[in-house]
A and B are shown apart, each in its own frame.
Chain A
Amino acid sequence: MSYIVPVGPYHPSLEEPIHARLYTEGEVIKDAEVFVGYNHRGIEKLATERNCIQTLVLVERVCGICSHSHAFTYAMCVEKINGIEVPKRGDYIRVITAELERLHSHFLWLGIACHIIGHDSMFMHIWDERELVMDLLEKMTGNRVNYAMVTIGGSRRDVSDELRRELLDACDKLKAPLDRITEIAVTDKTIALRTKGVGVLTREDAIRLGAVGPHARASGVDIDVRRDAPYSAYGDFEFGVPVVDSGDVYARVVVRALECYESIKIIRQALENLPEGPINLGNKLVKIKEGQAVCRHEAPRGQLSHMVVGDGSINNHRVSIHVPSFKNTPTIPHMLRNNTVADAGLIIASIDPCFSCLDR
Protein backbone atom coordinates (compact mmCIF):
# COMPACT_ATOMS: atom_id res chain seq x y z
CA MET A 1 0.00 0.00 0.00
CA SER A 2 1.34 3.47 -0.92
CA TYR A 3 1.14 6.37 1.46
CA ILE A 4 2.32 9.97 1.50
CA VAL A 5 3.63 10.74 4.98
CA PRO A 6 4.12 14.40 5.89
CA VAL A 7 6.92 15.19 8.36
CA GLY A 8 7.07 18.68 9.80
CA PRO A 9 7.27 21.68 9.41
CA TYR A 10 7.41 21.23 13.16
CA HIS A 11 10.17 18.72 13.03
CA PRO A 12 9.70 15.65 15.22
CA SER A 13 13.27 15.55 16.46
CA LEU A 14 14.82 18.99 15.93
CA GLU A 15 12.82 22.06 16.86
CA GLU A 16 13.37 23.57 13.44
CA PRO A 17 11.00 24.11 10.54
CA ILE A 18 11.39 21.80 7.55
CA HIS A 19 8.65 19.94 5.79
CA ALA A 20 9.50 16.56 4.29
CA ARG A 21 7.03 14.61 2.20
CA LEU A 22 7.73 10.89 2.22
CA TYR A 23 6.33 8.68 -0.54
CA THR A 24 6.18 5.24 1.02
CA GLU A 25 5.37 1.66 0.11
CA GLY A 26 4.34 0.13 3.41
CA GLU A 27 7.02 1.28 5.81
CA VAL A 28 9.72 1.84 3.20
CA ILE A 29 10.40 5.32 1.82
CA LYS A 30 10.50 5.15 -1.99
CA ASP A 31 10.96 8.86 -2.63
CA ALA A 32 10.94 12.13 -0.71
CA GLU A 33 10.79 15.88 -1.17
CA VAL A 34 11.88 18.63 1.20
CA PHE A 35 10.32 22.07 1.53
CA VAL A 36 12.03 24.99 3.27
CA GLY A 37 11.41 28.71 3.67
CA TYR A 38 9.32 28.75 6.85
CA ASN A 39 11.74 31.09 8.56
CA HIS A 40 12.91 33.50 5.83
CA ARG A 41 13.81 36.82 7.40
CA GLY A 42 15.27 38.71 4.42
CA ILE A 43 18.60 39.26 6.15
CA GLU A 44 20.43 39.81 2.85
CA LYS A 45 17.97 42.59 2.04
CA LEU A 46 18.33 44.13 5.50
CA ALA A 47 22.13 44.08 5.14
CA THR A 48 21.93 46.52 2.21
CA GLU A 49 20.53 49.12 4.63
CA ARG A 50 23.32 48.74 7.20
CA ASN A 51 26.95 49.71 7.71
CA CYS A 52 29.62 47.10 8.38
CA ILE A 53 29.46 47.24 12.20
CA GLN A 54 25.67 46.96 12.16
CA THR A 55 25.99 44.11 9.65
CA LEU A 56 28.29 42.18 12.00
CA VAL A 57 25.48 42.26 14.57
CA LEU A 58 22.92 41.30 11.92
CA VAL A 59 24.80 38.37 10.37
CA GLU A 60 25.48 36.90 13.81
CA ARG A 61 21.70 36.53 14.09
CA VAL A 62 21.58 34.33 10.98
CA CYS A 63 22.30 31.36 13.24
CA GLY A 64 22.30 30.72 16.96
CA ILE A 65 24.88 27.93 16.80
CA CYS A 66 27.46 29.16 14.29
CA SER A 67 26.97 32.89 14.87
CA HIS A 68 30.72 33.56 15.11
CA SER A 69 31.28 31.87 11.73
CA HIS A 70 29.02 34.41 10.01
CA ALA A 71 30.63 37.45 11.64
CA PHE A 72 34.10 35.98 10.95
CA THR A 73 33.37 35.39 7.23
CA TYR A 74 31.66 38.75 6.71
CA ALA A 75 34.57 40.58 8.38
CA MET A 76 37.09 38.75 6.17
CA CYS A 77 35.20 39.97 3.08
CA VAL A 78 35.19 43.62 4.19
CA GLU A 79 38.86 43.40 5.20
CA LYS A 80 39.73 41.96 1.79
CA ILE A 81 37.87 44.71 -0.09
CA ASN A 82 39.43 47.46 2.04
CA GLY A 83 42.92 45.89 2.17
CA ILE A 84 42.90 45.72 5.97
CA GLU A 85 45.48 43.45 7.58
CA VAL A 86 44.28 41.95 10.84
CA PRO A 87 46.81 41.85 13.72
CA LYS A 88 48.04 38.30 14.30
CA ARG A 89 46.69 38.17 17.86
CA GLY A 90 43.24 39.19 16.61
CA ASP A 91 43.34 36.36 14.06
CA TYR A 92 44.33 33.81 16.70
CA ILE A 93 41.47 34.87 19.00
CA ARG A 94 39.03 34.55 16.08
CA VAL A 95 40.27 31.02 15.44
CA ILE A 96 40.04 30.02 19.13
CA THR A 97 36.43 31.24 19.23
CA ALA A 98 35.63 29.46 15.96
CA GLU A 99 37.00 26.14 17.24
CA LEU A 100 35.21 26.44 20.59
CA GLU A 101 32.08 27.09 18.57
CA ARG A 102 32.73 23.92 16.54
CA LEU A 103 33.16 21.95 19.77
CA HIS A 104 29.87 23.15 21.23
CA SER A 105 28.08 22.60 17.92
CA HIS A 106 29.37 19.04 17.55
CA PHE A 107 28.60 18.22 21.21
CA LEU A 108 25.12 19.62 20.70
CA TRP A 109 24.55 17.50 17.59
CA LEU A 110 26.02 14.34 19.10
CA GLY A 111 23.67 14.80 22.06
CA ILE A 112 20.65 15.31 19.83
CA ALA A 113 21.58 12.29 17.71
CA CYS A 114 21.67 10.14 20.86
CA HIS A 115 18.32 11.59 21.97
CA ILE A 116 16.71 10.67 18.62
CA ILE A 117 18.25 7.21 18.77
CA GLY A 118 16.69 6.79 22.20
CA HIS A 119 19.94 6.78 24.16
CA ASP A 120 18.90 9.58 26.52
CA SER A 121 21.48 8.92 29.21
CA MET A 122 24.19 9.50 26.60
CA PHE A 123 22.38 12.65 25.43
CA MET A 124 22.46 14.07 28.97
CA HIS A 125 26.07 13.05 29.47
CA ILE A 126 27.20 14.78 26.26
CA TRP A 127 25.25 17.95 27.01
CA ASP A 128 26.72 17.99 30.49
CA GLU A 129 30.22 18.02 28.97
CA ARG A 130 29.08 20.65 26.47
CA GLU A 131 28.42 22.99 29.39
CA LEU A 132 32.16 23.14 30.01
CA VAL A 133 32.63 24.52 26.49
CA MET A 134 29.70 26.90 26.91
CA ASP A 135 31.16 28.21 30.19
CA LEU A 136 34.48 28.83 28.44
CA LEU A 137 32.77 30.70 25.63
CA GLU A 138 30.82 32.76 28.14
CA LYS A 139 33.96 33.59 30.09
CA MET A 140 35.87 34.48 26.93
CA THR A 141 33.20 36.46 25.09
CA GLY A 142 30.57 37.38 27.68
CA ASN A 143 27.86 35.38 25.90
CA ARG A 144 26.72 31.80 25.45
CA VAL A 145 25.61 32.53 21.89
CA ASN A 146 26.11 35.53 19.56
CA TYR A 147 29.60 36.16 20.89
CA ALA A 148 30.25 39.55 19.24
CA MET A 149 33.97 38.73 19.22
CA VAL A 150 34.63 40.02 15.72
CA THR A 151 35.12 43.55 14.58
CA ILE A 152 36.43 44.85 11.27
CA GLY A 153 40.21 44.62 11.67
CA GLY A 154 40.42 42.07 14.48
CA SER A 155 38.74 40.80 17.62
CA ARG A 156 36.82 42.79 20.21
CA ARG A 157 38.02 41.10 23.40
CA ASP A 158 41.46 40.00 24.44
CA VAL A 159 42.44 36.74 26.11
CA SER A 160 44.15 37.47 29.44
CA ASP A 161 46.98 35.29 30.73
CA GLU A 162 44.64 33.91 33.39
CA LEU A 163 42.01 32.99 30.80
CA ARG A 164 44.68 31.53 28.53
CA ARG A 165 45.79 29.18 31.34
CA GLU A 166 42.18 28.29 32.09
CA LEU A 167 41.52 27.47 28.42
CA LEU A 168 44.65 25.33 28.28
CA ASP A 169 43.52 23.47 31.42
CA ALA A 170 40.12 22.98 29.82
CA CYS A 171 41.77 21.37 26.77
CA ASP A 172 43.19 18.75 29.17
CA LYS A 173 39.90 18.41 31.05
CA LEU A 174 37.93 17.83 27.85
CA LYS A 175 40.15 14.96 26.76
CA ALA A 176 38.80 12.29 29.19
CA PRO A 177 35.06 12.95 28.58
CA LEU A 178 35.67 13.16 24.85
CA ASP A 179 37.49 9.80 24.95
CA ARG A 180 34.53 8.33 26.80
CA ILE A 181 31.97 9.83 24.40
CA THR A 182 33.93 8.65 21.35
CA GLU A 183 34.35 5.16 22.77
CA ILE A 184 30.64 4.84 23.49
CA ALA A 185 29.68 6.36 20.12
CA VAL A 186 31.96 3.97 18.25
CA THR A 187 31.36 0.77 20.23
CA ASP A 188 27.85 1.00 21.71
CA LYS A 189 25.49 -1.59 20.26
CA THR A 190 22.35 0.58 20.56
CA ILE A 191 23.95 3.40 18.58
CA ALA A 192 25.38 1.02 15.99
CA LEU A 193 22.02 -0.73 15.46
CA ARG A 194 20.23 2.56 14.81
CA THR A 195 22.92 4.18 12.67
CA LYS A 196 24.94 1.61 10.71
CA GLY A 197 23.77 1.32 7.11
CA VAL A 198 21.06 3.97 7.74
CA GLY A 199 20.67 7.02 5.46
CA VAL A 200 23.63 6.19 3.23
CA LEU A 201 25.01 8.88 0.93
CA THR A 202 27.65 7.44 -1.36
CA ARG A 203 30.86 9.31 -2.16
CA GLU A 204 29.73 9.76 -5.79
CA ASP A 205 26.38 11.20 -4.70
CA ALA A 206 28.02 13.48 -2.12
CA ILE A 207 30.27 14.95 -4.83
CA ARG A 208 27.50 15.14 -7.42
CA LEU A 209 25.06 16.85 -5.04
CA GLY A 210 27.73 19.17 -3.60
CA ALA A 211 27.60 18.05 0.05
CA VAL A 212 29.98 19.88 2.39
CA GLY A 213 31.55 19.67 5.83
CA PRO A 214 31.35 16.67 8.18
CA HIS A 215 28.40 15.42 6.10
CA ALA A 216 30.65 15.08 3.01
CA ARG A 217 33.64 13.83 5.02
CA ALA A 218 31.45 11.03 6.40
CA SER A 219 30.92 9.96 2.76
CA GLY A 220 34.65 9.79 2.06
CA VAL A 221 35.01 13.24 0.46
CA ASP A 222 38.23 14.74 1.76
CA ILE A 223 37.40 18.48 1.83
CA ASP A 224 38.03 21.10 4.48
CA VAL A 225 38.44 24.80 3.68
CA ARG A 226 40.73 25.29 6.71
CA ARG A 227 43.28 23.00 5.10
CA ASP A 228 42.53 23.38 1.36
CA ALA A 229 42.34 27.17 1.25
CA PRO A 230 43.84 28.42 4.54
CA TYR A 231 42.61 31.78 5.81
CA SER A 232 43.02 33.90 8.93
CA ALA A 233 45.53 32.03 11.16
CA TYR A 234 44.64 28.46 10.09
CA GLY A 235 47.82 28.14 8.03
CA ASP A 236 49.84 28.30 11.29
CA PHE A 237 48.37 25.14 12.83
CA GLU A 238 48.74 21.44 12.31
CA PHE A 239 45.56 19.43 12.39
CA GLY A 240 44.01 16.41 10.73
CA VAL A 241 40.82 16.11 8.70
CA PRO A 242 38.94 12.94 9.74
CA VAL A 243 37.32 11.18 6.78
CA VAL A 244 35.15 8.05 7.02
CA ASP A 245 33.99 6.13 3.95
CA SER A 246 30.76 4.36 4.89
CA GLY A 247 28.47 7.40 4.28
CA ASP A 248 25.84 6.33 6.84
CA VAL A 249 24.58 8.05 9.99
CA TYR A 250 27.17 6.11 12.00
CA ALA A 251 29.95 7.68 9.91
CA ARG A 252 28.51 11.14 10.63
CA VAL A 253 28.63 10.41 14.37
CA VAL A 254 32.23 9.18 14.15
CA VAL A 255 33.46 12.08 11.98
CA ARG A 256 32.03 14.69 14.34
CA ALA A 257 33.44 12.97 17.42
CA LEU A 258 36.91 12.80 15.82
CA GLU A 259 36.72 16.43 14.67
CA CYS A 260 36.37 17.50 18.31
CA TYR A 261 39.92 16.21 18.92
CA GLU A 262 41.26 18.27 16.02
CA SER A 263 39.53 21.40 17.32
CA ILE A 264 41.13 20.92 20.71
CA LYS A 265 44.47 20.48 18.95
CA ILE A 266 44.01 23.81 17.12
CA ILE A 267 42.88 25.65 20.28
CA ARG A 268 45.92 24.35 22.18
CA GLN A 269 48.34 25.43 19.46
CA ALA A 270 46.72 28.86 19.22
CA LEU A 271 46.89 29.39 22.98
CA GLU A 272 50.47 28.15 23.32
CA ASN A 273 51.65 30.40 20.50
CA LEU A 274 49.33 33.36 21.08
CA PRO A 275 51.25 36.32 19.61
CA GLU A 276 51.78 39.52 21.55
CA GLY A 277 50.42 42.79 20.21
CA PRO A 278 47.12 44.51 19.48
CA ILE A 279 43.92 42.54 18.92
CA ASN A 280 42.34 45.00 16.48
CA LEU A 281 42.92 48.25 14.64
CA GLY A 282 40.78 50.45 16.84
CA ASN A 283 37.23 49.25 16.25
CA LYS A 284 36.51 52.02 13.74
CA LEU A 285 33.54 52.30 11.41
CA VAL A 286 34.92 52.13 7.87
CA LYS A 287 33.40 52.85 4.50
CA ILE A 288 33.35 49.76 2.29
CA LYS A 289 35.45 50.54 -0.76
CA GLU A 290 34.22 49.88 -4.26
CA GLY A 291 34.88 46.21 -4.93
CA GLN A 292 33.76 42.66 -4.38
CA ALA A 293 35.06 39.79 -2.26
CA VAL A 294 34.06 36.20 -1.62
CA CYS A 295 35.43 34.47 1.48
CA ARG A 296 34.96 30.92 2.68
CA HIS A 297 35.09 29.54 6.20
CA GLU A 298 34.75 26.00 7.48
CA ALA A 299 31.80 26.47 9.84
CA PRO A 300 30.83 23.55 12.14
CA ARG A 301 28.41 22.24 9.50
CA GLY A 302 30.67 22.82 6.50
CA GLN A 303 31.75 25.43 4.04
CA LEU A 304 30.18 28.84 4.58
CA SER A 305 30.65 31.56 1.97
CA HIS A 306 29.86 35.25 2.06
CA MET A 307 30.02 37.66 -0.84
CA VAL A 308 30.19 41.37 -0.08
CA VAL A 309 29.98 44.13 -2.68
CA GLY A 310 30.97 47.64 -1.67
CA ASP A 311 30.25 50.85 -3.56
CA GLY A 312 32.38 53.28 -1.56
CA SER A 313 29.55 54.26 0.79
CA ILE A 314 29.09 53.47 4.45
CA ASN A 315 26.50 50.72 3.74
CA ASN A 316 26.91 47.38 1.99
CA HIS A 317 25.82 47.36 -1.61
CA ARG A 318 25.14 43.61 -1.42
CA VAL A 319 25.76 40.83 1.07
CA SER A 320 25.13 37.29 -0.13
CA ILE A 321 25.30 34.52 2.45
CA HIS A 322 25.52 30.88 1.51
CA VAL A 323 25.45 28.39 4.30
CA PRO A 324 26.42 24.72 4.53
CA SER A 325 22.80 23.63 5.11
CA PHE A 326 22.00 25.14 1.69
CA LYS A 327 24.28 22.45 0.21
CA ASN A 328 23.43 19.60 2.57
CA THR A 329 19.62 19.86 2.78
CA PRO A 330 19.01 18.91 -0.89
CA THR A 331 20.83 15.61 -0.21
CA ILE A 332 18.12 14.54 2.29
CA PRO A 333 15.75 12.92 -0.27
CA HIS A 334 18.64 10.81 -1.63
CA MET A 335 19.47 9.55 1.86
CA LEU A 336 15.85 8.80 2.75
CA ARG A 337 15.20 6.48 -0.18
CA ASN A 338 14.87 2.78 0.74
CA ASN A 339 15.00 3.53 4.47
CA THR A 340 12.08 3.11 6.85
CA VAL A 341 9.74 5.85 8.07
CA ALA A 342 10.99 5.20 11.62
CA ASP A 343 14.48 6.36 10.62
CA ALA A 344 13.35 9.49 8.75
CA GLY A 345 13.76 11.83 11.74
CA LEU A 346 17.27 10.57 12.43
CA ILE A 347 18.31 10.79 8.77
CA ILE A 348 17.04 14.36 8.40
CA ALA A 349 18.82 15.33 11.61
CA SER A 350 22.02 13.54 10.60
CA ILE A 351 23.16 16.37 8.31
CA ASP A 352 23.08 18.64 11.40
CA PRO A 353 20.65 20.89 9.56
CA CYS A 354 20.22 24.53 10.43
CA PHE A 355 17.09 25.92 8.84
CA SER A 356 17.62 29.25 10.52
CA CYS A 357 20.88 29.51 8.51
CA LEU A 358 19.29 28.12 5.37
CA ASP A 359 16.33 30.49 5.33
CA ARG A 360 18.37 33.54 6.37
Chain B
Amino acid sequence: MQEYKRIDIQKDQIVPVAERMRREGRYLVMIHAFINKDGQMDVSYEYAVDPEIESYHVVGETTLPSIAMIYDVAAEWPERELNELFGIEFEGLDTSKRLFLPEDMLDPEGRGQIMVTPLSELVEKNRKEGTV
Protein backbone atom coordinates (compact mmCIF):
# COMPACT_ATOMS: atom_id res chain seq x y z
CA MET B 1 0.00 0.00 0.00
CA GLN B 2 1.05 3.57 -0.60
CA GLU B 3 1.88 5.05 2.78
CA TYR B 4 1.88 8.75 3.52
CA LYS B 5 4.38 10.19 5.99
CA ARG B 6 3.90 13.77 7.13
CA ILE B 7 7.00 15.65 8.30
CA ASP B 8 6.71 19.27 9.48
CA ILE B 9 9.66 21.49 8.61
CA GLN B 10 10.56 25.17 8.75
CA LYS B 11 10.85 27.39 5.72
CA ASP B 12 14.68 27.40 5.80
CA GLN B 13 14.75 23.59 5.49
CA ILE B 14 12.89 23.51 2.15
CA VAL B 15 16.03 23.91 0.00
CA PRO B 16 18.26 21.48 2.01
CA VAL B 17 15.50 18.83 1.90
CA ALA B 18 15.10 19.32 -1.87
CA GLU B 19 18.87 19.06 -2.36
CA ARG B 20 19.03 15.85 -0.32
CA MET B 21 16.10 14.35 -2.23
CA ARG B 22 17.69 15.26 -5.54
CA ARG B 23 20.99 13.67 -4.46
CA GLU B 24 19.13 10.50 -3.49
CA GLY B 25 17.40 10.47 -6.88
CA ARG B 26 13.91 10.96 -5.42
CA TYR B 27 11.07 12.06 -7.60
CA LEU B 28 9.18 15.27 -6.73
CA VAL B 29 5.58 14.08 -7.00
CA MET B 30 3.98 17.45 -6.43
CA ILE B 31 3.82 20.63 -4.42
CA HIS B 32 0.35 21.03 -2.92
CA ALA B 33 -1.20 23.77 -0.83
CA PHE B 34 -4.36 24.39 1.15
CA ILE B 35 -5.57 26.70 3.89
CA ASN B 36 -5.87 24.77 7.15
CA LYS B 37 -8.62 25.06 9.76
CA ASP B 38 -6.66 27.81 11.57
CA GLY B 39 -6.65 29.87 8.38
CA GLN B 40 -2.93 29.29 7.77
CA MET B 41 -1.32 28.32 4.49
CA ASP B 42 -0.14 24.69 4.52
CA VAL B 43 2.28 23.96 1.67
CA SER B 44 3.46 20.39 1.22
CA TYR B 45 6.34 19.05 -0.86
CA GLU B 46 5.58 15.43 -1.77
CA TYR B 47 8.57 13.21 -2.61
CA ALA B 48 8.28 9.61 -3.76
CA VAL B 49 10.34 7.40 -1.46
CA ASP B 50 8.75 4.29 -2.94
CA PRO B 51 6.45 2.80 -1.89
CA GLU B 52 5.97 5.69 0.51
CA ILE B 53 5.32 9.39 0.02
CA GLU B 54 7.31 11.67 2.29
CA SER B 55 5.38 14.89 2.64
CA TYR B 56 7.29 17.89 3.97
CA HIS B 57 4.89 20.54 5.29
CA VAL B 58 5.55 24.21 5.88
CA VAL B 59 2.71 25.89 7.75
CA GLY B 60 1.91 29.57 8.12
CA GLU B 61 4.26 30.96 5.45
CA THR B 62 3.19 32.78 2.30
CA THR B 63 6.69 33.58 1.00
CA LEU B 64 8.85 30.54 0.33
CA PRO B 65 12.16 29.86 -1.40
CA SER B 66 11.83 28.41 -4.89
CA ILE B 67 13.32 24.96 -5.52
CA ALA B 68 13.16 25.40 -9.31
CA MET B 69 16.99 25.58 -9.45
CA ILE B 70 17.08 22.04 -7.98
CA TYR B 71 14.10 20.36 -9.63
CA ASP B 72 13.90 22.53 -12.78
CA VAL B 73 10.44 22.69 -14.43
CA ALA B 74 9.18 19.82 -12.24
CA ALA B 75 9.12 22.40 -9.42
CA GLU B 76 8.76 25.59 -11.46
CA TRP B 77 5.33 24.79 -12.91
CA PRO B 78 3.76 23.71 -9.58
CA GLU B 79 5.19 26.83 -7.92
CA ARG B 80 3.78 29.06 -10.65
CA GLU B 81 0.42 27.34 -10.29
CA LEU B 82 0.35 27.84 -6.52
CA ASN B 83 1.25 31.48 -7.05
CA GLU B 84 -1.81 31.83 -9.28
CA LEU B 85 -4.20 29.82 -7.12
CA PHE B 86 -3.18 31.06 -3.66
CA GLY B 87 -0.92 34.08 -4.17
CA ILE B 88 2.06 32.31 -2.54
CA GLU B 89 5.31 34.09 -3.41
CA PHE B 90 8.30 31.95 -4.36
CA GLU B 91 11.58 33.84 -4.04
CA GLY B 92 13.54 33.75 -7.28
CA LEU B 93 10.62 32.52 -9.38
CA ASP B 94 9.59 34.51 -12.44
CA THR B 95 5.84 35.05 -12.11
CA SER B 96 5.61 37.88 -14.61
CA LYS B 97 3.57 35.67 -16.96
CA ARG B 98 0.50 33.65 -16.03
CA LEU B 99 0.66 29.86 -16.46
CA PHE B 100 -3.02 28.88 -16.41
CA LEU B 101 -5.24 31.81 -15.55
CA PRO B 102 -5.94 34.95 -17.59
CA GLU B 103 -3.58 37.90 -17.15
CA ASP B 104 -6.50 40.07 -15.98
CA MET B 105 -7.65 37.73 -13.18
CA LEU B 106 -6.09 40.01 -10.56
CA ASP B 107 -7.93 43.15 -9.55
CA PRO B 108 -6.04 46.46 -8.93
CA GLU B 109 -5.47 45.43 -5.28
CA GLY B 110 -3.80 42.22 -6.46
CA ARG B 111 -6.66 39.94 -5.34
CA GLY B 112 -8.20 37.24 -7.49
CA GLN B 113 -6.30 34.03 -6.84
CA ILE B 114 -9.17 31.64 -7.35
CA MET B 115 -8.59 29.32 -4.40
CA VAL B 116 -8.69 32.17 -1.87
CA THR B 117 -11.39 34.29 -3.49
CA PRO B 118 -14.98 33.23 -2.64
CA LEU B 119 -16.81 31.63 -5.57
CA SER B 120 -19.59 34.23 -5.27
CA GLU B 121 -17.05 37.02 -5.79
CA LEU B 122 -15.61 35.30 -8.88
CA VAL B 123 -19.13 34.84 -10.30
CA GLU B 124 -19.89 38.51 -9.66
CA LYS B 125 -16.64 39.55 -11.39
CA ASN B 126 -17.48 37.43 -14.42
CA ARG B 127 -21.05 38.79 -14.50
CA LYS B 128 -19.76 42.37 -14.57
CA GLU B 129 -17.46 41.45 -17.44
CA GLY B 130 -20.36 39.80 -19.24
CA THR B 131 -18.68 36.38 -19.43
CA VAL B 132 -21.52 34.56 -17.59
Contact = CB atoms under 8 A, between A and B. Distances in A.
Interface string A328-352: 0011000000000000000000000
Interface in B92-111: 98-102
B77 to A, nearest CB: 6
Contacts of B1: 230-231
A37 interface: yes
A326 B30 CA distance: 10
Contact of B101 (A37, A303, A320, A331): A37
Q: Is the interface of A mostly helix, strand, loop or mixed?
A: mixed
A228 B30 contact: no
Nearest to A46: B119
Interface stretch (B9-17, B49-57, B58-66): B49-57
A56 to B, nearest CB: 20
Nearest to B98: A37
B29 A296 contact: yes
B51 A229 contact: yes
B89 interface: no
Interface string B26-48: 01111011110100000010101
Contact of A322 (B6, B30, B53, B76): B30
A313 B66 CA distance: 34
A289 to B, nearest CB: 13
A294 B53 contact: yes
A208 B76 CA distance: 12
Interface string B66-77: 000001111011
A317 interface: yes
A164 interface: no
A351 B105 CA distance: 30
B101 A40 contact: yes
B68 to A, nearest CB: 11
Contacts of A36: 99-100
5 contacts: A294-B44, A294-B53, A295-B2, A307-B34, A318-B34
CB-CB nearest 5 A-B residue pairs: A210-B74, A330-B73, A229-B51, A318-B34, A37-B100
Interface of B: 1-2, 4, 6, 25, 27-30, 32-35, 37, 44, 46, 48, 50-53, 55, 71-74, 76-78, 85, 98-102, 114-115, 119, 122
